[in-house]
């Protein structure tokens, strides 16, 4: 039977003896005649408002009991099936249309051809012979008629349609129990997916004059569940849709799925990764770590840190978490336990304190980094009383400087509410001995895939206005603003292992990201590919800069950048 489908939800095939003189009367051959009517299912022609014409397909055969007929040689509307053995076999009486199994043992394939014969994909029917050796075949499998179209002429060709249920077997092998007219309950070699393949691809039309394609399914209860359909094209793009069928796939029933697809609907299949990607979001909802403790800080001794927000210091400058009791013992740390396994602790640069560098969790952000924005941000985060105590007094510019807003970005976090701020650099003058670093707590080398980075408000203000804008913050430099030749970049240094003596360590790889390139300054979240570092046990971060950004005391610009959503690869 040709690979097509009809409009009716149930249809049958009538195969009849067309009078005694239509049978070949030979002792060794029994011939029965198959006649196609409009209400039958065999091959499908072009439907019209009244009927769909059907015909037999070359290669079709039927079973009489366990006796297989010869296959017919050509497509036709009147088919003669012959059985060797003559009238002696008629007494079995049971007719099966089954081209993938033997008699009542049917097999619906999980990979079907849209260009072939429904019988070759598992179409199955049953009937009994009457006294005239005629029979009325009832189809016992279910069917989907795909009416798939496109209004765009430049669409790629459709190469397959995959139908997936929510774990319900629609393909596999089953036995039809003709004694009670039901399928046996057990399905062997079952599959909840069927893929319909279009050899050479099929060009979609704006309207289908006939049946575009059809799929054979085992009867299954799917009403109210979800069906997922994946349409794959010859440029490897896909269109995925979900359907909630209102009816079950019952024996003999046909369900029509009409879909119009345009190029804008297509997406490229993501290549399957050989690794799992875990992301450190700094969001409280994603916490997996065990409680942590920062015993040094006033008011924090013995207090559990159970979420990322507990690590956000207040105020941003000289707060108890990042600066400790006496600004020397702030051993601030965090550990993404049970997720990326990334760990960070402020480095020891004559003290464990944020002025010696580190990575601090933040949720401080607000638009604007011009001088006139500063007091508005300080009002928001420090309060009116703090502003009032310096209003009109000598030293106000220094006391109300941008350093008070060192954990702030001009845009919202890349995701969620929280992010992380790096401070620290090492150059010819810097007092910093140990650069801030991220390491894997278990010392296992892994690939850090990427992180999202941006500039802070403090850094942007200094980049655009120059360091002269704040009292006491000139750093001995001559920076007055951006030029064509200005550049500033973050450098990540990868280390394959963690040495007990940091002075013995040498980086094995590097990655760079430009925060400034001439007048191009990063003011949005940008993705930084760190996979080029390879597998590393830890990463250290530093700043490199163009000559005019340096003075006699080294780096003139505040050494901050913010990052969020750092992703790590874990081998599968």
Of 268, 293, 327, the residue at which a domain comes to its end is 268
| Per-residue tokens: 354 | 């944020």
Of 224, 247, 268, the residue at which a domain comes to its end is 268
Q: What is the CATH number of the domain that holds 484?
A: 2.60.120
**Residue 6 covered by a domain:** no
- Whether residue 306 sits in one domain with residue 173: no
Report which secondary-structure segment, H or E, holds 457. Answer: helix 457-465
Range of the domain at 133: 12-268
- Whether residue 252 sits in one domain with residue 381: no
- Whether residue 285 sits in one domain with residue 240: no
**Residue 16 covered by a domain:** yes
SS3 535: strand
- Whether residue 242 sits in one domain with residue 159: yes
Query: Among 208-212, 427-431, 526-530, which range has the highest average pLDDT?
Result: 526-530
**Residue 285 covered by a domain:** yes
- Whether residue 298 sits in one domain with residue 249: no
Listed residue (310, 282, 420) closest to 362, CA to CA: 420
**Residue 561 covered by a domain:** yes
- Whether residue 241 sits in one domain with residue 165: yes
**Residue 273 covered by a domain:** no
Of 268, 288, 323, the residue at which a domain comes to its end is 268
- Whether residue 148 sits in one domain with residue 97: yes
**Residue 2 covered by a domain:** no
Residue 188 Cα to chain centre, angstroms: 31
Query: Among 181-185, 224-228, 327-331, 447-451, which range has the highest average pLDDT?
Result: 447-451
Is the four-CA dihedral 117, 118, 123, 126 of positive or negative sign? negative
**DSSP letters of 375-418?**
HHHHHHHH-HHHHHHHTT-TTHHHHT-GGGGTTEESS--SSSS-
Burial of 497 (0-12, 13-18, 19+ CB in 10 A): exposed
- Whether residue 300 sits in one domain with residue 243: no
pLDDT per residue as tens digits for the range 68-108: 888 888 877 777 788 876 655 665 688 899 999 888 999 99
- Whether residue 466 sits in one domain with residue 330: yes
Instruction: Give me the number of domains the chain comprises.
Output: 2
Q: What is the CATH number of the domain that holds 60?
A: 2.60.40.2630
- Whether residue 288 sits in one domain with residue 242: no
pLDDT per residue as tens digits for the range 503-555: 667 899 999 999 999 999 999 999 999 999 999 999 999 999 998 887 777 78
Phi, psi torsion values for 102, nearest 5 degrees: -120, 120
- Whether residue 294 sits in one domain with residue 260: no
pLDDT per residue as tens digits for the range 100-130: 988 899 999 999 999 878 889 999 988 887 7
- Whether residue 222 sits in one domain with residue 354: no
């Amino acid at each position: 039977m040709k690979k097509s489908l009809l409009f009716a939800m149930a249809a049958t095939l009538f195969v009849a003896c067309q009078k005694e003189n239509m049978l070949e009367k030979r002792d060794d051959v029994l011939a029965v005649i198959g006649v196609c009517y409009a209400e039958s299912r065999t091959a499908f022609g072009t439907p019209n408002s009244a009927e769909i014409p059907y015909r037999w397909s070359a290669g079709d055969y039927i079973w009489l009991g366990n006796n297989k007929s010869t296959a017919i040689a050509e497509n036709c509307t009147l088919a003669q099936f012959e059985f060797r053995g003559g009238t002696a076999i008629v007494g079995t009486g049971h007719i099966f249309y089954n081209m993938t199994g033997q008699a009542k043992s049917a097999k619906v394939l999980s990979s079907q051809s849209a260009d072939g014969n429904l019988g070759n994909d598992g179409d199955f029917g049953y009937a009994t012979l009457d006294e005239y050796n005629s029979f009325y075949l009832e189809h016992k499998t279910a069917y989907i008629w795909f009416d798939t179209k496109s209004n765009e002429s430049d669409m790629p060709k459709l190469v397959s349609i995959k139908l997936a249920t929510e774990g319900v077997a629609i393909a596999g092998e089953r036995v039809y129990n003709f004694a009670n007219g039901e399928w046996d309950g057990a399905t062997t070699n079952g599959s909840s997916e069927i893929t319909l393949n279009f050899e050479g691809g099929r060009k979609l039309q704006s309207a289908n004059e006939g049946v575009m394609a059809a799929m054979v399914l085992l009867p299954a209860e799917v009403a109210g569940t979800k069906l997922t359909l994946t349409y794959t094209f010859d440029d490897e793009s896909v269109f995925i849709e979900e359907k909630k069928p209102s009816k079950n796939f019952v024996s003999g029933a046909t369900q029509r799925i009409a879909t119009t697809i345009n190029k804008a609907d297509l997406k490229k299949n993501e290549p399957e990764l050989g690794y799992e990607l875990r992301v450190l979001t700094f969001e409280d909802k994603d916490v997996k770590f065990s409680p942590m403790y920062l015993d040094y800080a006033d008011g924090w001794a013995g207090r559990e840190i159970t979420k990322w927000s507990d690590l956000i210091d207040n105020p941003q400058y000289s707060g108890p978490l990042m600066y400790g009791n006496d600004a020397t013992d702030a051993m601030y740390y965090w550990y993404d336990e049970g997720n990326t396994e990334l760990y960070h602790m402020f480095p020891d640069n004559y003290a464990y304190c944020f002025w010696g560098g580190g990575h601090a969790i933040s949720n401080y952000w607000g638009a604007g980094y011009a001088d006139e924005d500063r007091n508005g941000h300080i009002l928001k985060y420090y309060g009116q009383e703090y502003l009032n105590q310096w209003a009109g007094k000598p030293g106000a510019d220094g006391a109300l400087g941008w350093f008070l807003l060192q954990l702030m970005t001009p845009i919202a976090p890349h995701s969620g509410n929280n992010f992380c701020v790096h401070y620290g650099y090492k150059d010819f003058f810097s007092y910093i001995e140990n650069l801030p670093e991220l390491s894997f707590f278990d010392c296992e080398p892994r690939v850090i895939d990427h992180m999202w980075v941006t500039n802070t408000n403090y850094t942007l203000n200094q980049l655009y206005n120059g360091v002269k804008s704040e009292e006491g913050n000139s750093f001995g430099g001559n920076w007055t603003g951006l030029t064509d030749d200005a550049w500033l970049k973050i450098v990540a240094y990868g280390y394959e292992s963690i040495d007990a003596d940091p002075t013995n360590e040498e980086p094995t790889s590097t990655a760079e990201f430009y925060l400034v390139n001439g007048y191009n300054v990063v003011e949005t979240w940008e993705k930084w590919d760190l996979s080029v570092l390879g597998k590393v046990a830890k990463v250290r971060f530093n700043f490199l800069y163009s000559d005019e950004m340096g003075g006699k005391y080294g780096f003139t610009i505040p050494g901050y950048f913010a990052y969020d959503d750092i992703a790590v690869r874990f081998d599968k």
